[in-house]
Every structure is written in C-alpha cells, then in structure tokens.
Amino acid sequence: MSKGSALVSILFAFFAGVVIGHVTSGSGGGEEVTAAADANQGDDVEAVVEEGGPDRFKIPVTDAQPSKGAADALVTIVEWSDFQCPFCTRVEPTLDTILKDYKGKVRVVWRNNPLPFHKDAGPAAQLAMEAFKQGGNDKFWAMHKKLFENQKALSRADLEKYAQEAGLDVNKVKEALDKNVHQASVTADQELAQKMGARGTPAFFINGRFLSGAQPLPRFKEVIDDELKRADKLIKSGTPKAKLYAALTKNGLTAAKAPEPQQQRRQPDPKAVYKVPVGNSAAKGPADAFVTIVEFSDFQCPFCNRVNPTIKKIEETYSKDVRIVFKHNALPFHKDAQLAAEATLAAREQGKFWEMHDKLFENQKALTRADLDKYAGELKLNMAKFKAALDDNRHKAETEEDQKLARSLGASGTPSFFINGRNLRGAQPFEAFKAVIDEELKKAKDLVAKGTPKGQLYAKVIENGATAPKFVEGAGPAAAKPAERPDANKVYDIKPPAKAPSKGKKGAKVLIQEFSDFQCPFCNRVNPTIKQVIDEYGDKVQLVWRDYPLPFHDKAFKAAEAGREVYEQAGDQAFWKYHDLMFQNQRALAREDLEKYAGEVGGINMAKFKAALDNDKHKAAVQADLDAVQKAGARIGTPSFFINGKLLQGAQPLPAFKAAIDAALAGQ
C-alpha cells in the first residue's frame, strides 16, 4: 500500500471511530496527568474485594487535578472532557444537578481530552489549567464555566480576554500559552484516557466504573445510587471514609481490556476506483483537469459546511490541476435541504449556481422558501423564473438521480467525495485530501505522457470503475461484531398511560409510542416522517406521545409539563397544535414563550395553565414516562419509538418505520 493510501485508511478509521464514539455515547440515532499521577494511591490501604462486583478501573486522583466536592466523598466521578465538544457542554447541567442532589456525597474530578479536530480545545484546556495553577479549584471552575458558556469563541484573543475577566495574571497566562507550559499535563491526561479506553468525550469513571457519553441523569443516578449502597456497607465494615475511593480502585484495571479476537471490520477500500459520471452537474475548474473531485453534499449538513474551507484551499493549492463537481444528497431528516438543492439548480439556469451555493452555506440555518426567494433576489435572478422552478419542482428529478447514484456507491452520508473515482468520506482535513490528490495527479500525468488526451483523462480513469461499494480484501460481509445495539426483536413491556396525547385510531393494530423532547433537534427532524406514517397508514396505527426530556435541555421538562396541561384542558387536537408550535419555535421555550403558545392554541384557561406550571402539577406524570423506560429495561435517547413494544431509535427515515410497522401488521 502507498503512503498516501495508508494515510487515508488511518484517517478514515480515526474519524469513523470518533463519530461512532459520539453516536453510541450520545442520545440516539439521528449521537464528541501529570507524571506523578499514581502518588501512592491505595498503597497504604487494603483493597476492597467485591464478589461479583462491577468492573472498575484504577483512575488516579491527586491534587494535580481540579476537583469539586468533598475530598472524602463516597463517590468520585472522574470526567474526561473537551471545551469545544458540544456533548460535553450538554452534560454539564447534569453534573451540576448531581453535585446539588448528592451534596457532600459526590465529588467530580476533571481531566482534559481535547480532541484533535477541535482546534481551539487544546489552548482552552491549557488556559483552564493555568487558572488552576494561579487560583486553585475556585479559579479553575470559574474559567471552566466561562469556556463552556463561550464554546464557539475560543480564539487566542478570546482566551486572553477571559483570563483578564477572571482576574488572572494575564502576563503569566500569555507566557503559559506561548510556551505550552501545561501541554505535558494535558497530553498525560489524553494518554491515560486512551489507555483506559475513553476515546471520545465526555467520558466518566464513577468510583472507577466507566460510563461513556452525555448520558441522562437517570443513568448517572443508577450507578451513583448503587455505589452509595456499596460505600455504606464498606464503611460499616471498617473501611475509612477518606480511603474509600483508593480501596475500591486499588486492584482496578489499569488499562482497557483488549477486544476479543474477531474478524476485521468491513472497511471501504481506499484504493478502489468508482465510476462516478459528471453528467450535467455544476463544476468549477478546467474540464480537462488532471484530477476531478465529485462531492455529494447537503446544504443543511454542518459537516458539509465545515469542509468548505478545505475545498477552497484545494482550489487555491492545485489551481488548474483540479476540477470540483457538486452533486446533491439531501438527507431526509434535513427538512429544508431538498428545496435548497433545487434552488441551486434553479440558480444554475441563470448562471449563478456557485453564488447560490455559497449563500446557502453562509445562511445554513435559514433555508425556508421565503429565505430562498430572498437570496435569489439578492443575486438579482429573474424571480419569476426562479419561483416557477421551485413551485414546479422542476429540478427534483435531477437531485433524486444524484441521491440514487450516491446510495449505489455506498456514499449514504454527507459529505462524501470521489477523487478521480476514489472515495474519501466525511469532513476530512486538507492533508487527507492532499494525500489522494497527489497520488492521482501523478497517475494522471503519467497517462497523459503515454498519450491519453487531457480532455479524455477523467473518462479513461473511471471507465472500468466500480458501480457498487468495494471493501478491503479479506473483510467480507461477515465483518466484526458491531457495537452493541438494542435487540431489534426484543419486545419491551411498556404500556401507554390511560391518558396520553395520541393520533390515529385508538386500539389500532399497531401502537407507536414516541418518547421525545421538545428541545431535541433530532426529535424535530423526525416530525415530517411521523406525519407521513400517519397519512400513509391511517387507522392501522395509533401514535401515543410520551415525554422524555433530556437533562441537558434546560427548558425541555417545563415544556413537557406545559404540553400536558394543554392536553388536560383541551384534548388531543389542542395538544398537537401546541406540540407543533413548540417544535416550530424550538429555541424559544422560556416560560413566557410557553404561555404565548398556549394563548395561540385557543380555548386554554390561562390562569389554570400558569398555575399548573407554577405548582409543577404535571411533573410526576412526566417523570412517570421517564421511569417507564427504565422500568422496562430499555436505554434510549431521543427520539425513540416503541412499535408494538419493539424499539426503533433515532430520527430514522420513512423506510425504517415502514419496515417495522409492516412487520407488526404481519404479526411479526
């Protein structure tokens, strides 16, 4: 294998691993040390022996790590985190709740794990550690709070500003950042995280027991409560409280267990060449370029947006040697992406595809029909022609052909690239693209030197290309055992409440219970799919709403209570109207917003509504939905669906729902 191919394989595996870590650790399918670390931990205590106890890791805790909570707490939570990781931000309110609810019984110990693709996370970690050096735990946690509150503004100038606001010695901060004073400490934390198997962020070790990801509060409480019971027994049997953590972890694992031998995972072959026709797709760069890059993208996909600066750098670096071709793959859970794709093709009719392309990515969160019309006006397009193209869905068939091509080549996610037919997936760094481009550039120049006309070069390169996914030799369909997932055939005993908002025919053959959260973006994305399900299956299905507000969504629980009150006062029709209003205004769910939407529903006694929220009237009912999942033995994120008791997780596309519903109708 060439060096370039090897680099691509390594990068693919690394980024795939990180993504898998976030997805499996997060909320659902739509789901981011000093050398003296051991410091005699446990050397002067007797190890606790727990017959049949849980696996524990020996995670050192010393004065070199920032901490919060009593040093002799019964439960110690060691957290590995990253100041730029959105999942790490989301779990912080959960940790605050834990420290409040278990005051004196739990302490949290911080360790750094800035991920390599978060470019500002490393300097932010060093600033936090400098704050710790200058002012101990108080200054560290104050800086920790400020960094998470300003997660999208962590440039060097921002860090110096926060240091000044926190009352730190700014000259010492600048010196620490310039000289990477705390890099050794951060690196040691990262190496320990890798050793313990905590590769993604956030990651937690609760008295040495590993818990991965931004888990909901009940999951933390499940482990903490169990540890408190164990701690009480140990203290009664003579283990000193102050030495409890050391005793529990003294004989713990010092490294993650090696995986059981298994067949290699099926990996795409980085050397495979695919037959990817250019067709009529928009392109920039010379038609006879040595290298053609075909990009499959989605205007609402944040990763597609993130890779755009890399594409620009490729254009600047390779100038006349590279051609960029754009194809559409609007993902089904991005509700505005399809029409946005059609808008660029309507603009192409008037010679302004790339201008519209840039404008849509610059305004990725504003892609409604009104927004598209506005951008067309700003580009001075013929508005009558533009609007007619969108009204008639004139270009929908072309975008669907692009999507069909992407699926046939195994490029179901976005962004995905084919560099002279070789697939590179995801928002990879420039170096990953460069490795493949340089290889293909050399091959192309050799072909031209041997007589292939430049104008026929791309056709020659892909003429024998694959039309279906190709995998690394020896890694066939019976690949490695995948990450543990819920058993698709397991039927959970999870009965709907006597009174709950619903749609469809009561007592229908198929009961769909939707566990959702009004602040969850994936829950919002799946709503159009649920509407399609109801429209298509009619009286064959009944949809029952269940509340599952996640702890890091600070307004979700109260929004759930508000929905309950609307339902109690005015029934299903009013609830679903209120449901739609909250999802349409997902970022505006403050108390005054909830009252405003209730007024817009009509027929709501506002005095009763306000009193219900003031008195937490429906808190127990919402909690009962949360508890029902735990009681059934299921672990879910949002959204999650129980279809006749079988679990379907995440914002799945319509075919996934249809397969599950059709199976239920068939009695399977």
Across 47-51, 382-386, 464-468, 556-560, least confident range:
47-51
Q: How many helices (H) and strands (E) does the chain have?
A: 23, 15
Cβ of 92: how many Cβ atoms within 10 Å?
18
The CATH number of domain 3-249, selected from 3.40.50.1110, 3.40.30.10, 3.40.50.140, 3.30.930.10: 3.40.30.10
Assess whether the previous peptide bond of 655 is cis (omega < 30° from 0). Answer: no
- Token output for 237: 């049997």
Q: Does the pLDDT of residue 9 top 90, yes or no?
A: no
Percent of all residues in the chain with a pLDDT value above 90, rounded to a whole number: 71
Q: Report the CATH number of the 282-462 domain.
A: 3.40.30.10
**At what angle are helices 308-318 and 430-449 packed, to 10 degrees?**
40
Nearest to 646 by CA among 486, 537, 539, 499: 486
| CB 523 within 8 Å of CB 29 | no
Give CA angle at 36 (33, 40), nearest 5°. Answer: 120
Across 250-259, 323-332, 633-642, least confident range:
250-259
What's the rounded Cα separation, in Å, for the pair 112 and 201? 10
Beta bridge partners of 646: 491, 643
Q: Does the pLDDT of residue 668 top 90, yes or no?
A: no
Across 147-151, 454-458, 522-526, least confident range:
522-526
Average of per-residue pLDDT across 277-299:
96
C-alpha torsion 9→11→13→15, nearest 10: -150
Q: Does the pLDDT of residue 525 top 70, yes or no?
A: yes
The predicted pLDDT at position 486 comes to 55
Q: Does the pLDDT of residue 96 top 90, yes or no?
A: yes
Nearest to 210 by CA among 61, 38, 59, 64: 59
- Token output for 154: 């962590």
Write out the H or E segment, with its range, that includes residue 419: strand 416-419
Q: Does the pLDDT of residue 106 top 70, yes or no?
A: yes
What's the rounded Cα separation, in Å, for the pair 99 and 615? 25
Average of per-residue pLDDT across 302-307:
91
Q: Does the pLDDT of residue 485 top 60, yes or no?
A: no
Per DSSP, 215 falls in state -
CATH architecture entry for 502-665: 3-Layer(aba) Sandwich (3.40)
Cβ of 436: how many Cβ atoms within 10 Å?
25
Across 317-331, 482-496, 541-555, least confident range:
482-496
For residue 417, give the 3-state DSSP assignment. strand
Per DSSP, 196 falls in state T
Tens-place pLDDT, residues 495-510: 999 999 999 999 999 9
What's the rounded Cα separation, in Å, for the pair 82 and 88? 7
Q: Does 3-249 match 502-665 in CATH topology?
A: yes
Mean pLDDT across the chain, nearest whole number? Answer: 87
What's the rounded Cα separation, in Å, for the pair 575 and 564? 8
Average of per-residue pLDDT across 523-544:
93
Write out the H or E segment, with its range, that includes residue 540: none
Q: What is the CA radius of gyration of the chain?
A: 28
Tens-place pLDDT, residues 544-568: 999 999 877 889 999 999 999 999 9
The predicted pLDDT at position 146 comes to 96
For residue 243, give the 3-state DSSP assignment. helix
pTM of the model: 0.43
Beta bridge partners of 617: none
| CB 121 within 8 Å of CB 80 | no
Across 202-216, 255-269, 336-350, least confident range:
255-269
The predicted pLDDT at position 33 comes to 26
The predicted pLDDT at position 52 comes to 55
Taking the domains of the chain in order of start, what are their residue ranges?
3-249, 282-462, 502-665
The residue behind tokens 């279906």 is 468
Tens-place pLDDT, residues 389-441: 999 999 999 999 999 999 899 888 899 999 999 999 888 889 989 999 999 99
CA 441 to each of CA 133, 322, 435, 554: distance values in angstroms, whole numbers, following the listed order? 51, 9, 10, 52
